[in-house]
Structure formats: C-alpha cells, structure tokens
Amino acid sequence: MSRDPSTPETPGLFVRLDFGDGRRLGPGKIALLEAIRDHGSILAGAKAIGMSYRRAWLLVDDLDRMFEDKVILTFPGRRGNGTELTPFGARLIALFRAMERQCAKATRVTADELTRALASDPATRSGEGRVPDEAPPGAKLPRAG
C-alpha cells in the first residue's frame, strides 16, 4: 500500500480549547493570525490560507470579542491599509503553539503505541466482529460479551 503524501508520517494531534460558554480557540484562528502577521493584511492573510475575506473578518471579530485585549490593529487609509498583530495577538499565537507542543509531548508514547497497532491496510480488513455504524432496518446485531 502506498502512503498518501498528504498524510503525515507521524500521528497529528488536533488541539482546540472549548471554554465552556461557546467560545473556542483552535488552529484555524491561530493560522489566520499567523497569516495576517506574515502578509500584513486580513485580505492577504485570508488568501494565503484559502479563506474568504468575510470568514477571516468574522474570525478576527470573534477573537476580539473573546478576549479582553484586541488581537489586531488596522490602519485604513494610511500605512498602505495595513494590519498588524497587537502584542496580545502575538502572545496568543505563542501560547497556543506552546500548548500544542506540550500536548504532543504528553501524548507521544500513547500515540506511538496506537500507531503501531494500526492495520497495515484498513481497506482490506474484514469488518467481521465489528458493529456497523448503521445497521439495515430489522438487522440483528451481535450482542456484547
């Protein structure tokens, strides 16, 4: 079986903070902030990561409402209509990326064991003994233990 080049060699870890009141901080918002930092505008940053300007603006607005401090400064009509991160925006990126590294380090041993336990070719594995996600109407499912 050949490896899909878009699949990482090692397992990836998706980290998102759910603050419990509906507010969320995840890799998409952080990637947007990084792109804005790198490209100097919301529009250029959004394009760089394949996001619409409207979506990017809504995410930045969401971040500005989520935290006490703003994450970007915009300069319409001067400085070439630029956008830059605030010190808090830069700190938010640093904190989130540090959290990702800490989570990856904390789960590395377990993730490695799970990776070793993976079937070499899941497409050829028999589904025998496994409960399907959805059974046909009237089908009898095997009883557990």
Q: What DSSP string describes 1-59?
A: -PPPTTS-SS------EE-SSS-EE-HHHHHHHHHHHHHSSHHHHHHHTT--HHHHHHH
Reported pTM: 0.73
Q: Band of the pLDDT at 48, cuts 50, 70, 90?
A: very high
Q: Are 88 and 78 in contact (CB under 8 A)?
A: no
Q: What is the pLDDT of residues 99-121, one digit of tens each?
A: 999 999 999 999 888 988 888 87
Q: Band of the pLDDT at 1, cuts 50, 70, 90?
A: very low
Segment 68-93 mean pLDDT: 88
Name the CATH architecture for the domain at 17-114. Orthogonal Bundle (1.10)
Segment 26-53 mean pLDDT: 96
Domains of the chain by residue range: 17-114
